[in-house]
Structures are given as structure tokens and as C-alpha cells.
Chains A and B, each alone.
Chain A
Amino acid sequence: MKKKYYLKCTGKYLFRMITLLIAVSVISFVLVSLSPVDPVQQYVGAVPNVSVEQRAKIAEYWGLNDPPVERFFAWAGSVLHGDFGVSLLYRRPVLDIIVEKFGASLALMMTAWIFSGVLGFAIGCVMGLFNGRWLDKILKKVCFVMCSIPTFWIGIVFLMVFSVMLGWFPFGMSVPKGVPADEVTILQRIHHLVLPALTLSFLSFANVALHTREKLVDVLESDYVLFAKARGESKWSVLKRHGLRNILLPAVTMQFGSFSELFGGSVLAENIFSYPGLGAAVSAAGMYSDVPLLLGITLFSTLFVFVGNMLANIIYGIVDPQIREGCIK
């Protein structure tokens, strides 16, 4: 019975993932084809003396004269073979770039993710416990303000305060300048990671805290908590036995569901701190019309978000058997 259930779920997820990826590749390909930017002009760039015949040859070689549908199938076919094309910007295979940059991005995103999750949850619990009192009111106001702060501005403010004025942290990049890659210590990497990660976690921190607060307030107003209090349980034990158990699950699910915002935020954070990750790469790809890279990263980031949502559903299913019945809603 159980085995059958898991098999069915896996099948459903696979089907969803494949249809999603196909749809995203169609849509992003259409969007890219709509662009008025001339790819040949972008490729040739500032190089003078490129004759009309040479341009035509490049266009012919790239298949630019073929109808869009044909081009799409040519591209999709090679993607299925694991060939995402060659990046115009980096002059290297797109897949290599994605793999390499994703490592750097993952370190950044996961640090911010864990940081905002743990701290946001803790602050949310404090707010929930002190519901309606001054501490809660102040923290709530702070959270509301934090929700309205754009990631790129807070990044600039962090740079101004901690790098320029105080000099505590380096001015961007992921490793020190002028040091060979194999001599960079882990401490130096962490030193470079702190500010971008803080910037990125700012985005979801307040959301997590406010969400946790709502849930905890709901739980604390329930009858079973009233009964627990009547039995003489202390505030701490109520939180531990009744509060945390009920609010941890939605919090974890929400955290896994936030991969989309996390990736979006990393585009901004990485640009401000010149951090060499996927986020910086995707905006560079859009800026300099590097179509293969742009398409590759779009597909990859969609997969990343999908995996996050899938993990959220799976964890929910494992922890809460009631949900399991429905597989995916």
C-alpha cells in the first residue's frame, strides 16, 4: 500500500516537472525570439570590418534564417542531449558555467536561507509569546518596515556602513583579490560571504517572523492551550509541548516554498556585491544578450524552485500523515 503510494507520488511529480520544464522552455524561447536585439550584432560587438557577407554567414551558421519553430526544436533537441550551447559572454559551454556558478550561489543562498529561517522563527516565537505587549508591538513595526525595504538598497547600506565606514568586511567579490584560487582559505570565503548573505536573508526574515507570530498566536488562543495552562504548565512548557510542535511544520514548508524569492533576491545581492554566482550571471546574460546562457539559467532556476516546492510537499507528507492521502493537491 505504502509502496504504491510513493510510486504514484513520484510519477505525479515527474509528470509535473516535465510538463513545467517543457512549458517554461517554450515560453522563454518565445520571449527570447521576440527580442529586437540582433544576436549577430551582439556577437560581433565592437569589432570593426565585419562585412555583410560575414554577418550573413554567422546568421546562416546559427540557423537564424530558419523559422522559429524549427529553431526551437533544434535547440530543445540539443538540450535533451545535455548540450545547452556555448555562452557568448564567457565563451564556454553553458552547462559548465551553470554548474560552477551554482556552487557559489548555493553557498550564499543556503547561508541566507538558514539564517533567515532560524532567526525569523525565533523572533516570531518571541512576538507570539508577548502578543499585544510592547515588545511584540515594537518587533511587529520593525518587521513591517523590513518588508518594505528593497534588497538592493539594504545591500548598498550594508556596503556603506560595514565595508566603507567601518572596514569590517571586504568590498564585494567572493575571494580576496590577487590570491590564487587554491590558496583561498575557508575563513576568507566566509568573510566575503557574510554581507551578501545578510542582505539576502533580510528579504525573507521579516516574512518568516510575521508568519510564525500569526500561527503561534492562533495556537496559544486554542482550547487545548487554555487547558494546559489550567493544569499549571508554565509558559515555556506550553511553547515547547504545544506551540512549537504545531507551528514548526508550516514554517518549514514555507521556508522550502521560498526558493523562488531566494533566487530572485540572489540576483540583486550578487550584483551589488559582485559575487560571481548564477544571479549575477543571469543579469549579465540579459544585459549582453547572451541568449544560450539566459535560457539555460531560466530552465535551471525553474528546476531549483520546483525542487524546493517538491521538498516542501514531501516533508509535509512525511510529518503529517493526513496530508499524505492527497499526494499533491
Chain B
Amino acid sequence: MNLNRRTKMIVFVGVIFAVLAAVYLAGLFISDDFIAADFSQKGLKPSWEHPFGTDMLGRDMLARTMKGLSVSIIVGTVASTVSAVIALIVGVAAASGVSWLDHFVNWMIDLVMGIPHTVLLILISFACGKGLKGVLIGVAITHWTGLARIIRSEVLQIRSQQYIEVSRKLGHSSRWITVHHILPHMVPQFLIGLILMFPHAIMHESSLTFLGFGLPPEQPAIGIILSESMQYLSAGMWWLAFFPGLMLVIIVLLFDRLGENLKKIMDPYSAHE
């Protein structure tokens, strides 16, 4: 087959997307019977029957990992979508030309970035009484800063264009210009920013869960699996931590590649690379 690089990249993006969707659906549809405790099967090394081994309660680690990844993907999706929407609103507002608003937004960004991210996540999770709600809110309201800055500078750039000036002279209101001229330009930035937020969101969700602030212990989450595995490390049960973590790395990597490749497709300037 003779494909040019652009087509190849689109195919590549499609494949990544399919893999991620498959992981999500697999986790969703694996029945809970697979992760029921079975003490006759406890602490088994990886084999054909249990490719990732089993834990001390005899639960199949592959099934637990898939379920955990599924949870991670959904938490990542919700949190990064909320975060990206916040970034869009804040970024456009900052660039609207109102001086105090711009200063305020910049100050807010400095403030959110001024507290170490993990510490801020712990604080928010603590405020929400831990659990799923804490993770979702925490991850959602701490990841918008970078994208907001990008969107702000993009909007500022577009606002200085001549056609915006013309549009204004033609009597269109600022709101009309924002909706019809500026927001459409933001779509690629928004989508790419959203997807590139995923890896961070997922990693922060699982680190927070690992520390004990995130999802509750009965939930099959990668952070829970890894923090449980810590107890059995000195006993040499390496498979409890190795495979689930590796799968998490792969998912994070796939999201990262998805975003970077979409960026190349959408941005004509980087198409030559």
C-alpha cells in the first residue's frame, strides 16, 4: 500500500483510539465473578490460565487490572473534560480585553501553580472527604492552568487580526465576535489540550489513589492494586505490581501519542516533521 504520512498518521490515531476504547469496554463488561475471591487459587504466579497471576485472595490480576484501567479511563475522561472546559472559559475571559479580569486570571493561575500539585490534590481530596468525588474534583480543578494560558495567548493573537477589527466596525457585538470568530479557532487547541491532559489526569488519579486519598479500597483501581502489592513485595510476589503498573504506563503512553499525533495532523506547521 502506498500511503502518505498524513494518511498513515490518521490510521495510527484510529488504531490507538480503538485500543483505548477496547480496554475501556473490556473492563466494563468483565463480570465481577472473575474478581471474586477464590482461596484455592491464591498467590499464583503468572501462567496461561492467569496471565498476570493472582493475588492473596485468589483474584485474577488480569481482570482486576482491566477493570482498574476502565475506571481510570472514565475518571480521566470526566476530569480532563471539565478541566478543558474551565481552561476554555477562563482563557477566553482573560483575553476579552477587560484588564482586571486578565490580571485576576493570571493571579489565579500563579496561585494554583504555586502550591505543589500533589499537595493541592491532597488538600482538595481532604476537603471532599476522600473517595471518588475528591479525586474527580481535585483532578478537574487543578489541570486547567497550562491550557488556559495557551488559549489566552491564542485568543489575544486572533483579536489583533484585521478581520476582527472589520467585524467590530460592521457593528457586531463582542459576544457575537467571540462566538463566531474566536471560538471556532479554538476547537483544535481545545481538543488537543483535552487529550494531552488525559495522561496527567490518569497519573494523578492513580497516584492519589495509591496514597490512599482516592478511590475506596473495594474499587478495582490501579492505585489500589499497587498499594496493596507493597505488602507482598518483600515476599517476592513481583507480578502483583509489575503487570498492572506496566498496563497503566501503556495506557498513559497511548493517550500521549494520540494527542501528539492529532496535533501534527491538525497543525499544518508541524506537518513537515
Contacts and interface: CB of A to CB of B under 8 A. Distances in A.
Contact of A150 (B213, B234, B238, B248): B248
Interface in B86-139: 110-111, 113-119, 122-129
A27 B108 CA distance: 11
B226 A156 contact: yes
B146 interface: no
Given A156-B226, A283-B122, A286-B123, A24 B207 contact: no
A306 B116 CA distance: 10
Interface in B204-252: 206-207, 210-213, 223, 226, 229-230, 233-234, 236, 238, 241-242, 245, 248-249, 252
A301 B116 contact: yes
A40 to B, nearest CB: 16
A30 B89 CA distance: 24
A23 B108 CA distance: 10
Given A144-B256, A171-B234, A263-B118, A157 B242 contact: yes
Contacts of A149: 249, 252
B203 interface: yes
B111 A294 contact: no
- Best-buried of B111, B126, B129, B226 by chain A (most CB within 10 Å): B126
A149 B110 CA distance: 27
B245 A271 contact: no
A27 B142 CA distance: 13
B161 to A, nearest CB: 24
A31 interface: yes
Contacts of B113: 260
A37 B129 CA distance: 6
Interface in B5-57: none
B248 A305 contact: no
A148 B119 contact: no
Contacts of A28: 115, 123
Given A20-B110, A35-B127, A302-B114, A150 B207 contact: yes
A298 B129 CA distance: 18
Contact of B117 (A152, A264, A279): A264
Nearest to B244: A153
B109 to A, nearest CB: 12
A156 B123 contact: no
Contact of A268 (B115, B199, B207, B242): B207
B119 A156 contact: no
Contact of A261 (B117, B122, B124, B199): B117
B127 A267 contact: no
B187 interface: no
B238 A35 contact: no
Interface in A117-160: 144-145, 147-153, 156-157, 159-160
B233 A289 contact: no
A311 interface: no
B197 to A, nearest CB: 14
A12 to B, nearest CB: 13
Contacts of A153: 226, 241, 245, 248-249
Contact of B234 (A164, A289, A302): A164
Interface in A258-274: 259-261, 263-265, 267-268, 271-272
Contacts of B253: 144-145, 148
A269 B249 CA distance: 17
B40 to A, nearest CB: 26
Interface in A215-258: none
- Best-buried of B117, B124, B223 by chain A (most CB within 10 Å): B117
A209 interface: no
A326 B62 CA distance: 56
Contacts of B114: 20, 24, 260, 302, 305-306
A108 interface: no
A74 to B, nearest CB: 20
Contact of A160 (B206, B207, B233): B233
B127 A283 contact: no
A283 B212 contact: yes
A297 interface: yes
B234 A268 contact: no
B213 A287 contact: yes
A138 to B, nearest CB: 16
A311 to B, nearest CB: 15
Contacts of A180: none
A164 to B, nearest CB: 6
Nearest to B110: A20
By Cβ-Cβ distance, the 7 closest A-B pairs, closest first, are: A264-B118, A153-B245, A263-B116, A31-B127, A36-B129, A148-B252, A148-B253
Given A20-B111, A37-B129, 14 more contacts: A24-B111, A34-B127, A149-B252, A150-B206, A160-B241, A165-B236, A259-B116, A260-B116, A263-B116, A264-B118, A282-B122, A283-B213, A286-B122, A306-B114
